[in-house]
Every structure is written in C-alpha cells, then in structure tokens.
A and B are shown apart, each in its own frame.
Chain A
Amino acid sequence: MATFEELYRQHVQAVFRFALSVAGKREVAEDLTSEAFLALHRNLAAIDQSQLPGWLLTVVRNRARDWWRRQMVERRYAEQFAAAPEPEAPPVERWLLDSTDLKQVHRVCLALRYVQGMTRAEISARTGLTEMQVKGHLQYGLTLLRRAHGVQET
C-alpha cells in the first residue's frame, strides 16, 4: 500500500489539470487540488487505492460544483445562452474548426482571441498558459491562417 506522499506525487498533475479545467483559474485549481488531497489524507485507511485517481477527481468535481454555485450567486450568470449560431459559417471559422494543421492549443488561443474577444492577458489567466506562450501560439496560428487563405507573407 502506497504512502500518502507517494500517492500525491503519482496523481497530483492529473488532479491539478482536471481542477484547472473545471475552475478555469489557477489559484482555484490549486485550492481544489489541495482539498482533494486533504480528503484523501483524511480517508486514506478506508480507500481502495486502485480507485485513484478517480476518487480524487470526484472530490474535485463535487467541490467545483460548490464553487460554481457560489459564483452563480455572486455573478448572477444568465442561465439562457445563445442558441446554435446560424448554419452559414465564414470560411475562416470553418478553417479554425477543421484544419488538421492546428493543434488544439492553437485552436483554443485563436478562438479565445478572435471569437470570444479576449486579450492575451485574459487568455493567459483563463488557460494557465503564460502570456509569452499565448503570444507564440497566436503567432503560429495566424501564420497558418494566412497561408490557408492565400494571404501573401510580408
């Protein structure tokens, strides 16, 4: 049976990534990760270790729901979001969604910048990437976009 510290080292990255994906903020993700491992510490003797990291991810998911519930109260998120957009997408959008040259990270950075209208700093805050990384991914994406749409390199 592994010790708590061994389990921590084995699973912390997976738990943190999941926490970041459900909370969208690095500091909240760290809190959720910390709470999940604290719960593990508390229940270590009773837990079947073969069920990790699933058990930890479930703790994160439950705590994230709690966190979002509080956000809903504080920010009063609208519960009605826009329905599906009109079927006719411009070629740039079709390229953004379908291009096999783009990695998922490029697609997301481009969409956050040119669809959701975020600044590089906002993209950095919401993805956990550094601003330099965001800038690099956007530059690479724009280069591919230019090529795909026949715009001359300058």
Chain B
Amino acid sequence: MSTDRHTWDREERQALAGLEDQIDAMRRRHVGAPPFELLRAARADALPDDLQTAVSEHLAASPMSRTLAEGLGEDAPVLSAEEQERLLARIMKDARKEAAPASVWGWLRPVLVGTGIVAVASLVWIVSKGTDVGEPLAPPDSQVVVALPPAVPPFLLPFEKPDVRLSMSALTWRGSAPSATDDGNQLLADLKPGLDAYRGNDYATANRQLTALVSRYPGTIEILFYQGVSRVFLNDYAGAIAAFDAADAVGDRTFASDVAWYRAVAEQRSGNDAQARAQLNAICNARGSDAGRACTALEQLAKASANPQ
C-alpha cells in the first residue's frame, strides 16, 4: 500500500507539479496513523475495547484522521436493487435453515434420548468408582459472545448529542489564573482539549479532561454539562446525574433546560422513571423552547407505563 510520487500517473504528476514536497511532508506527518477502516469503525464505537481506546485517542488528536473517519457522507455506496433482492433471498434461506432442525427433531429424539441414557449411566459409574474426571475444560481463548440488543423498553427518551456552545460568562471570562493567555481567557484554552475530544466523539477523553478542570473552575457550566453528557455516552448514568446535579446548582439559565433534559435521559436509563418524569415536568411546565418535546415525552412515558409491551 505504498504510493509515492514515482507511482503517480502523468495526470497526477502534472496536477501536483510544484507541490511534491508538500505532499511528501503531508504523508510523513501521518505515517503510523491507524488505517482507514479502523478509523471508521472507531467512530461508530464498533471496535473491541483496547483497540477502541487506542484509536479514539489518536482520533482526538488528529484532524486528518477525523476527516477520514467521517467517511463518504451522502456519497456512500448503497446496495443496488439486484443486490437487495439477493441479500433478502440469502436471509430467508438462512432463516429456513434455522427453522429446519425442529422438523427433524422427531427423527433425532430416539437417538438423543439413547445417548443421554448412556451418558448418565457413564457418569454414575465414574462417580461410584471415584474416578478423577480431570480439570474442567478451560474456555477457548477466542470464545466470543455476541450480544443481541436487550429487550427494547417501550419508550426511551431520545438521546441526541448536543452541539458545543459556550455561555456568555465563559466567553468573557477574565480569571486570574497564573498562566492566563494573551487575551486573558485561560478558561477557553483549558476547555479546548476536553471539548475537542467531545466533538470528536471521544467521550472517555472528554470526561477525563473535563473532570480535571472541575476543581480549578468550580461552577463553570460548560465543564459540568459536557462532562455529564459524555458520561451518558459512556453509560455512566450515576456519574452523569452527579454532574448534572452540580450543573443545576450553578443556576445558569442558558443551559437549564438542556441540563434537565439530559438529566431525565440519564435517570430513565438508570431505571429511575420517577426522577426522569420530575425533570420532564419541570421543562414542560416552564414553557420554554423545549417544553413541547418534554410534554410529549411525558405523554409517551405515561402511555408506555399503562401498556407495557
């Protein structure tokens, strides 16, 4: 997979004439980056844990890799009509195969019952003789359990990633931190790594970076809110609720409705429907811009609890 300028065709050599050194420099800067397919899989959180962490850390630091990880957007290929039909036929064939063992069960039953009797008799004989049957078999190294999604609850509050925005107090922050930058806003400089990781969907790093800032900038709403949302993405609902509690205590009206909504999401996912409803009630009754979706969500929760599926 090594292409350098000597492998360029005539058209490429012409197009890139005078830019060769820059192309070489660009390539050298990214030697050792994860391959494209790993970047794409990491973005969808579809890698095993160790690999996911390693690639996510790289992604958080490399705009080039993040660009690749975004994929082809609207130009991503789709299945042709013919491929769709072929795939459907394959699925139906596999589904029939799965159903088939039930029909041969009648034929197999006497064999299995007979085998079972022999196995039980052997076991009784082994126990009665006190024979050492050896260590239990170790699980195979590569045993993999593939989980299906859990039974889906009747209604789950939508959890969409909120964009990063900054409060007026953060934008105009003039602290007295010793390492204040030239324009005096050290808070924004310190927030950047955590918020960049959040933007890049690297929630573990975002949570770590933001948590490190909590004691230095107590009462900064951006730190607490995006820390909470990152924790929801990490399925750390108790941690998220703690962060949203702290955010609520700051009393910043810009984020109040969002804090309540994501707190409700965390509460519901941790099984505490009553708390989730309390948060939604607060938004619904406040009649702000989020009131509509909160009121609707309350109705859907009520219906779901009346008709559990």
Contact = CB atoms under 8 A, between A and B. Distances in A.
Interface of A: 5, 8-9, 12-13, 16-18, 20-26, 30, 33-34, 37-39, 41-43, 46-48, 51, 55, 58-66, 68-70, 72-73, 77, 79-86, 89-93, 96-97, 103-105, 107-108, 111-119, 122, 126-129, 139, 142-143, 145-146, 149, 151, 154
A85 B62 contact: yes
B58 A5 contact: no
Contacts, number: 223
Nearest to A37: B91
12 contacts: A22-B40, A22-B46, A24-B41, A38-B94, A48-B309, A51-B156, A64-B44, A72-B48, A96-B26, A115-B27, A115-B64, A127-B72
Given A21-B76, A68-B47, A104-B72, A62 B147 contact: yes
Contacts of A23: 37, 41
Contacts of A9: 84
B131 interface: no
B290 interface: no
B251 interface: no
Interface in B227-261: none
Contact of A8 (B63, B70, B88, B151): B88
B73 A16 contact: no
Contact of B12 (A83, A142, A151): A142
A112 B37 CA distance: 11
Contact of B87 (A34, A41, A42, A113): A34
B90 A90 contact: no
Contact residues of A: prevailing secondary structure: helix
B220 to A, nearest CB: 26
B214 to A, nearest CB: 25
A47 B150 CA distance: 10
Contact of A105 (B1, B75, B83, B90): B75
A63 B242 CA distance: 33
A47 to B, nearest CB: 6
B135 interface: no
Interface in B14-35: 14-19, 21-23, 25-27, 29-35
B148 interface: yes
A17 B83 CA distance: 13
Most buried by A among B17, B26, B74, B147: B26
